[in-house]
Amino acid sequence: MRQFFLIFFLLFIICNAQNYKLTGEAIQGSIIIGSAENVLGVYLNNKPVPVDKNGRFVIGFDRNEKGLRKLKIKFKDGSVKTERLTIKKRKYEIQRLKIKDGYVNPPEEEMERIERELEIMKVARKKIGQVDSMMFDDGFVMPVEGGRIKSVFGSQRILNGIPKKPHNGIDIGDVEEGTPVKAAADGIVVLAGENFYFNGNFVLIDHGLGLNTIYLHLNKLYVTDGQFVKKGEVIGEVGSTGRTTGPHLHWGVQLYSKRIDPLSILNLSAN
């Protein structure tokens, strides 16, 4: 009998070591949040995925990503679990906008400024991923109360008849200038930019494990670089700075450089 219980106990330990959970869906522009007990490493198509001290990790799929991905979870007992993920395609809208000509094709005298701002953004985004803990344990909230989504994620924008890059976020409009903008989750401000040609005033927040959010066209900024912010904390006000047709908030989400639909993360949490 003692031997039986010893064998049962050892089997329980082995099974318990292989426990893992995936929350989310393999679809273009989405993320999956994972957690595993006694995990040694996580790999997506044999590339390592950052895992925090509690065994939690995030994988994501860019707007245009397609095909099959193999998720491999290695455990400390030497066992391995594999998930085959086929990325589902999405159908994106085509959106035609009429805006000031200077923002479709910037004047030559602004190009030096634009290049300088692009370099600032590049340097800031290199810092993404330095936070090795999942700071969005209890999920995300909409950064603005009320309003209406005027532009959806992934839509192909045609500005004054000229095709431009896809829209990599959502625009929340029908809100008054000065409306509070809140941090969607706990995080660290990577960059609080002021008066950028395209972005206007904006905030870039790192939420850990490569997941980051950006808030554009703000009227005012209430945070500074390096500041820790809590979920729901006011970080600025809705405005119309930068390239915009009026007061609204552009809210964008990325996993490192992968473009993610902000609406896809609202119902996800690590718990």
Q: What is the token pair recorded at 155?
A: 């839509």
Query: How far is it between the farthest Cα atoms of the chain?
Result: 85
* Residue carrying structure tokens 């395209």: 198
- pLDDT tens-digit series, residues 90-107: 999 887 777 665 556 788
* CA–CA separation, 70 and 258 (whole Å): 17
pTM of the model: 0.89
- pLDDT tens-digit series, residues 113-148: 999 999 999 999 999 999 999 999 889 999 999 999
- In the chain, alpha helices (H): 2-17, 101-104, 111-125
CATH numbers and ranges of domains, the chain: 2-87 (2.60.40), 94-265 (2.70.70.10)
List the strands of the sheet with 80-87, edge to edge: 47-49, 39-44, 67-75, 80-87
3-class secondary-structure state, position 109: helix
* CA–CA separation, 250 and 242 (whole Å): 11
Closest CA to 48 of 208, 209, 188: 209
**Contact at 8 Å (CB) between 11 and 49?**
no
Residue at 244: amino acid letter: T
pLDDT string in tens for the chain (271-residue length): 444 333 333 333 344 446 899 999 999 999 999 999 999 999 999 999 999 999 999 999 999 999 999 999 999 999 999 999 999 999 998 877 776 655 567 889 999 999 999 999 999 999 999 999 999 988 999 999 999 999 899 988 777 777 778 889 999 999 999 999 999 999 999 999 999 999 999 999 999 999 999 999 999 999 999 999 999 999 999 999 998 889 999 999 999 999 999 999 998 776 6
